[in-house]
Structure 1
Amino acid sequence: MAVLIPCYNEEASITSVIRDFQAALPTAAIYVYDNNSKDRTVELAREAGAIVRTEPLQGKGNVVRRMFADVEADVYVMVDGDDTYHAASAPALVSKLVGQHLDMVNGARVTDIAAAYRPGHRFGNMMLTGIVAKIFGNRVADMLSGYRVFSRRFVKSFPALSGGFEIETELTVHALELRMPMSDVSTPYKDRPPGSASKLRTYYDGFRILKLILVLVKEERPLQFFSILAGFLAFVAIVLAWPVVATYMQTGLVPRLPTAVLSTGLMLLGFLSLTCGLILETVTRGRREIKRMQYLRIPAPGIRDPARDSKDKR
């Protein structure tokens, strides 16, 4: 088992996070991946007994990609280094993952502390989680939580393409698209300790997450995306063409030729968009099947691998 802690300037909290998870999961290896911290995060993490590594590419998504690529384990616990998540809940999350053979258990944040979960962040999380639920499936209550437990087959089948805080959205959509067994567990959430500041920029990162959702809709639901675009183009084309057709029916003339050409062009673009959606839907299905086959190569947590067992007996 491995505990993965992405960090950027968390000297005020990293020692407490490491010690809390050492107490909660005494058999787990604690990995701290530093992302160009300017303070004493690295030094304090080493003193607390963590395995410290670095990722020079700035952004949480880049750190998660590196952690998932480097670390080998059967169960992965990922948590932020800001000491806002409840380490004592980790055994319950891990037990649920292994006991029910799940691939992701999400720590859904619960708090009454206003400063811990600001109204703007709370509203943004609800809105973005709702959008993803409508499009990809309503199976996650807190999509932007940084406290999660993963199986090995989730981690090793996850492409990790995001660079920043939108990584949580990508993690959620990956599980929903492959229809992985997953669950939520409510966990206490608290305010940051004194001297620690949030790296999340409410509006900037919120728009980046919204942009990623649109990109994922295009990538994972191309027929729906391009069908909506085709419908919009066709509607505009019909609105523009209607008076031209009416005039032609009355007089036999087409006095507004530019409008007629524009309407024809928009309708052709609409059909072209629909064709792109049909083609990309087939491509997406193939990509999904490949990811699914990679995912199925690794057994679920809590289930023995017969091939590995036979190899060990030899």
Structure 2
Amino acid sequence: MSASQEASPHAPAQGGLRIAAIVPCHNEEVTIGKVVADLKAAVPGMTVYVYDNNSTDRTAEVALAAGAVLRRETFKGKGNVVRRAFADIDADVYVTIDGDDTYEAADLPAMIQLLLEGPYDHVLGVRQDTGETSSYRPGHEFGNRMFNRLTGWLFKSEVTDMLSGYRVFSRRFVKSFPAISKQFEIETELTVHMMALRLPCAEHPVGFRDRPPGSESKLSTFKDGFRILGLLAQLLRHERPTAFYGALTLLFALLSLALGLPVVVEFFQTGLVPRLPTAILAAALMGLAFLMGGVGLILDGLRRARRESARLHYLNLEPPVPTPAAQVPVPGVTTRPAAGGHGIG
């Protein structure tokens, strides 16, 4: 292992605060050197961790040469990298940013300053195009807006750019985050965790640009989109079981009534039940409706207990308390709080 890998990973940055930047990478040799250099220039003293996720090019060598602390995660997927990094790294402030050089590192001091001044537990970098044409791939901008609105509707909160990979976290956010996702849906899980625990959060505009020539995107519009929809369904089932199972209860009850009412009417008119299979099916569907309703009520009680436990664990962790020297001076920065701090109803 090289000397760069053995460099002190917990050296204090601004005013004694330990700031760690986590950069997941898979085949990013074209961009990772610039990303590491830009991050270290933006926040001197910050430790930059590059997690090599099964790269087949020179990503690791370039990252080491740029001064990053190199870590490796063999389980493929950004979610696996974030879970490993959040478990392994001990810091006061955490930064996540992609290694593709699409985000503006110069915006990071303002995001950290906003986190400390809030104080907030999560600052989301809201992407703003820096070029004349949109930096979003075809379909991604529409999909992002759709997921923002869908998540806001499902979880009774608002978020402007839930798929952004540029974020700043407090230690108590990171150490209370379960990190279940495996791949690019990790951003959705981070957003819903913030909403579920009603954590104080803010948004900050950040520059966003196209990948440089020779750098290839790992995203798949439809595959990743369906994966995010699947995660949203799982999170809805876990975080709002009364709504999820209530919808199933209503569906089964309506089907039961639609099938069973004609049978009941015919019985009262003739005294006969000629469509016995339909009657049995209607009764079974109504039984399922009551079962789904009961499951929803039980899981809602378990959800409340789980959320109370997570909240108490979160409160046991200290927020970053900046000294005057810890403030990152950024003149003329304008920020706005996000509505994402509102919780799930």
Q: Tell me the SS of whatever aligns to 1:109.
A: strand
Question: 2:51 & 2:322 partners in 1: Cα distance?
Answer: 29
Question: 1:65 & 1:10 partners in 2: Cα distance?
Answer: 20
Question: 2:294 & 2:125 partners in 1: Cα distance?
Answer: 41
Q: Tell me the SS of whatever aligns to 1:119.
A: coil
Match of 1:158 among 177, 182, 191: 177
The residue that corresponds to 2:127 in the other structure is 109
Q: Quote how far apart the aligned CAs of 1:141 are.
A: 0.4
Query: Does structure 1 residue 264 correspond to structure 2 residue 283?
Result: yes
Q: Quote how far apart the aligned CAs of 1:203 are.
A: 0.3
Question: 1:189 & 1:139 partners in 2: Cα distance?
Answer: 21
Amino acid at match of 1:5: V
Match of 2:35 among 17, 21, 31: 17
Which structure's relative contact order is higher, taking Cα pairs within 8 Å and 6+ residues apart?
A: 2
Query: Does structure 1 residue 200 correspond to structure 2 residue 252?
Result: no
The residue that corresponds to 1:69 in the other structure is 87
Q: Quote how far apart the aligned CAs of 1:129 are.
A: 1.2
Q: Deviations over 1:188-243 (max 9, x none)?
A: 10000111111011100100000000000001111110010010000000000111
Q: Deviations over 1:155-195 (max 9, x none)?
A: 00000000000000000000000000001111110000111
Contact 2:162 2:187 in 1 (8 A): yes
Question: 1:34 & 1:113 partners in 2: Cα distance?
Answer: 32
Match of 2:265 among 235, 239, 246: 246
Q: Tell me the SS of whatever aligns to 1:249.
A: helix
Question: 1:92 & 1:186 partners in 2: Cα distance?
Answer: 10
The residue that corresponds to 2:47 in the other structure is 29
Which moves more between the two structures, 110-119 or 182-191?
Answer: 110-119
Q: Deviations over 1:51-101 (max 9, x none)?
A: 000000000000000110111110011100000001000000000000111
Aligned residue runs from structure 1 range 186-225, under 5 A? 186-225=205-244
Question: 1:48 & 1:12 partners in 2: Cα distance?
Answer: 12
Q: Quote how far apart the aligned CAs of 1:303 are.
A: 6.7
For this pair of structures, how many residues does the alignment match? Answer: 304
Question: 2:182 & 2:108 partners in 1: Cα distance?
Answer: 26
The residue that corresponds to 1:78 in the other structure is 96
Contact 1:103 1:154 in 2 (8 A): yes
Percent identical residues: 53
The residue that corresponds to 1:278 in the other structure is 297
The residue that corresponds to 1:289 in the other structure is 308
Which moves more between the two structures, 123-132 or 229-238?
Answer: 123-132
Contact 2:148 2:158 in 1 (8 A): no
Structure 2 stretches of 5 or more lacking a match?
1-18, 324-345
Amino acid at match of 1:137: K
> TM-score, length-normalised on structure 2?
0.86
Contact 2:35 2:100 in 1 (8 A): yes
Q: Tell me the SS of whatever aligns to 1:288.
A: helix
Question: 1:23 & 1:175 partners in 2: Cα distance?
Answer: 29
> TM-score, length-normalised on structure 1?
0.95
Question: 1:113 & 1:77 partners in 2: Cα distance?
Answer: 28
Structure 1 stretches of 5 or more lacking a match?
305-314
Query: Does structure 1 residue 124 correspond to structure 2 residue 143?
Result: yes
Which moves more between the two structures, 283-292 or 90-99?
Answer: 283-292
